[in-house]
Amino acid sequence: MHFEVSARQSGIASAPLSPQVSCTGERLLSVTGLEAAYGDRRVLKGLDFSLHAGEMVAIIGRSGAGKSTLLHVMNGSVPASGGEIRYHAEGGGERDILGANARQWRDWRSECGMIFQDFCLVPRLDVMTNVLLGRLHHTSSLKSFFKIFSTSDRARAVALLEWLGMLPKALQRAENLSGGQMQRVAICRALMQQPRLLLADEPVASLDPRNTQRIMEALRQISHEGIGVMVNLHSIELVKQYCTRAIGLSQGEILFDGKPDHIDEPLLQQLYGDERDGDDRDTLH
Ligand SMILES: Nc1ncnc2c1ncn2[C@@H]1O[C@H](COP(=O)(O)OP(=O)(O)OP(=O)(O)O)[C@@H](O)[C@H]1O
Ligand SMILES: [Mg+2]
């Protein structure tokens, strides 16, 4: 069965995902010479790329290419060892987030939502509270400690859950959900902070085909709202079906940055090499 979200179903008409962002395709990030290393091992070797509002950019490449490291460097959970990530703030300001202090990193994380393959929900809390926790960056620590959220935050959480068909589960503990349901809640939580960009590290890796399609449709709709989406994917078929652009990483370097339609056999061979021989081959097409 295909998943289709109409404006009415999504609740977007009444609760825009990101009211501050217009779909103008403005530049959000300019990344230059980005480097990262674990100890002596260089994992990102001077990456240059930009990200614009409304794009849905796939990061592709074989296991160990540096895809997750890239997203983690972008959200500050892994330190960069060189280069710049310039963020083009609304209203024209520009700053290098790699030079940010602790408070600026907190601000940055409220602009930059992230969802993970393993969802990272709080298992014993109910779905609604997990979603509301996405507002932590905007809520005083005392209020967040007592889980006191504003009426408008609650209304937004309800609209997001309704959009992804999760409202009936709002009071259920997160630990009792299926994988596809957990990922939908994780998306709602990331959108609670009204980010300008969303990073997703293999968000469909553990999901069945129907849930995969649901999550990919949701990410696409989020990008249509004007949010810049970057998503690590292993399926080239999904990249071609859903993404507006692909960045191919190989051993920490960019081999390709362009339209998914331009991904051809020689490039796949360069990106995946021997990984495509044998069992992995099916997952790449
Ligand atoms: N915490 C860490 N400490 C040391 N090395 C790490 C760490 N995390 C990743 N690496 C190494 O860095 C390289 C890039 O890893 P990364 O997880 O970014 O790859 P990936 O492209 O996301 O791979 P996959 O498709 O398997 O998720 C790999 O060689 C990996 O072993
Ligand atoms: Mg990874």
With a Cβ cut-off of 6 Å, ligand 1 is lined by 38, 43, 61, 63-69
The residue whose C-alpha atom lies closest to atom 31 belonging to ligand 1 is 64
Helices then strands (H, E): number in the chain? 10, 10
Instruction: Taking residues 68-85, report their average pLDDT.
Output: 96
pLDDT digits (tens, 9 = 90+) for 167-188: 999 999 999 999 999 999 999 9
Closest ligand by atom to 283 CA: 1
pLDDT digits (tens, 9 = 90+) for 249-274: 999 999 999 999 999 999 999 999 86
The residue whose C-alpha atom lies closest to atom 7 belonging to ligand 1 is 38
> Is residue 89 pLDDT above 90, yes or no?
no
Closest-lying ligand 1 atom to the alpha carbon of residue 249: 21
Question: 226-261: b or e for each residue (b if 16 or more CB lie within 10 Å)?
Answer: bbbbbbbbbbbebbeebbebbbbbbebebebbeebe
Q: How far is the CA of 65 from the centre of ligand 1 (A)?
A: 7
**Alpha-carbon span 92 to 268, nearest angstrom:** 38
pLDDT digits (tens, 9 = 90+) for 213-229: 999 999 999 999 999 99
Task: Report the alpha-carbon angle 41-80-77, nearest 5.
Answer: 105
Architecture per CATH, 10-15+27-284: 3-Layer(aba) Sandwich (3.40)
Mutate to test the pocket of ligand 1, among 41, 59, 204 (most ligand atoms within 8 A of CB): 41
Domain ranges of the chain: 10-15+27-284
pLDDT digits (tens, 9 = 90+) for 10-21: 443 344 454 344
Is 128 strand, coil or helix? helix
The residue whose C-alpha atom lies closest to atom 9 belonging to ligand 1 is 69
Q: How far is the CA of 63 from the centre of ligand 2 (A)?
A: 7
Q: How far is the CA of 63 from the centre of ligand 1 (A)?
A: 8
**Alpha-carbon span 85 to 65, nearest angstrom:** 20
Nearest Cα residue to 225 out of 268, 174, 260, 191: 191
